[in-house]
């Protein structure tokens, strides 16, 4: 076994990496970050303390988009997550950045704010995060009009980013019926077997969601 993933099933970025692994049935050792030993190994590998972290034959790879690019390059399978054509790949990377920066980041801001003590909370930050999510939903709704997946017909890195982003975004800031295209895309992502598996594996941890997980999905 050459690949080891340090991750937690309930983490959005870990789900993003897991989707890529599950899409291609790539074998890996799953080091779940739920023990002192696993946590110590992870922290030694990446003192920045963000997960997931991939170790490939002794080489440490961080940042989920780069982990997926690495898998696509070094452990390719039938589902190519970054297209070979450079121009198409650019669009995939652009959409990947969109989901990380303008969906997942505001979601994390809202969730992490709820974990703070009342004196340390940042209500204005939460307002701004919700405004960003509204803008993101509106833009995405327009562009998903004629697309099955984030960049068109092929499932890609961008959809790996989209799935957990939109999954959790809808929990913290529901996608309104005005954005039916986003709602439908989120449903397609939930029906994709790789993501459905990641969601199922995370079910036992739903009680940990600080804002309360809704009784759906």
Give me the residues that bind ligand GSH (CB under 6 A), please. 11-13, 49-51, 63-64
- Both structure tokens of 20: 């890529």
Nearer to ligand GSH, 4 or 11 (CB): 11
Nearer to ligand GSH, 63 or 148 (CB): 63
Give least dist CB 185 to ligand GSH, A: 21
Token pair 């941890």 is at which residue? 205
The answer to whether the CB of 140 falls within 8 A of the CB of 151 is no
Q: CB of residue 5 vs ligand GSH: minimum separation in angstroms?
A: 12
- Give the residue carrying structure tokens 């002794």: 58
Phi, psi at residue 114, to the nearest 5°? -70, -20
Minimum CB distance to ligand GSH smaller for 13 or for 28: 13
Shortest CB 11 distance to ligand GSH, Å: 4
Q: To which residue do tokens 């803008």 refer?
A: 135
Contact call for residues 107 and 169 (beta carbons, < 8 A): yes
* Cβ atoms of 167 and 189 closer than 8 Å: yes
Give me the least distance between CB of 130 and ligand GSH, in Å please: 19
Measured from the CB atom, the residue of 49 and 216 that comes closer to ligand GSH is: 49
């Amino acid at each position: 076994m050459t690949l080891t993933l340090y991750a937690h099933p309930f983490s959005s970025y870990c789900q993003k990496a897991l989707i890529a692994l599950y899409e291609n049935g790539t074998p890996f050792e799953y080091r779940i970050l739920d023990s002192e030993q696993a946590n110590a190994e992870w922290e030694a590998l990446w003192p920045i303390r963000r997960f997931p972290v991939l170790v490939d034959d002794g080489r440490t790879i961080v940042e989920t988009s780069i982990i997926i690019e690495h898998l696509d390059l070094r452990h390719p399978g039938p589902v190519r997550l970054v297209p070979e054509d450079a121009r198409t790949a650019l669009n995939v990377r652009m959409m990947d950045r969109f989901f990380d920066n303008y969906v997942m980041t505001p979601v994390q801001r809202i969730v992490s704010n709820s974990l703070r003590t009342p004196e340390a909370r940042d209500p204005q930050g939460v307002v701004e995060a919700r405004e960003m999510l509204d803008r993101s939903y509106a833009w995405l709704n327009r562009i998903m009009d004629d697309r099955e997946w984030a960049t068109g017909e092929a499932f890609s890195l961008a959809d790996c980013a989209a799935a957990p982003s939109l999954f959790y975004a809808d929990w913290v800031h529901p996608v309104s019926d005005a954005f039916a295209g986003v709602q439908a895309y989120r449903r397609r992502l939930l029906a994709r077997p790789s993501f459905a598996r990641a969601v199922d594996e995370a079910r036992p941890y739903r009680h940990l969601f600080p804002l309360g997980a809704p009784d759906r999905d």
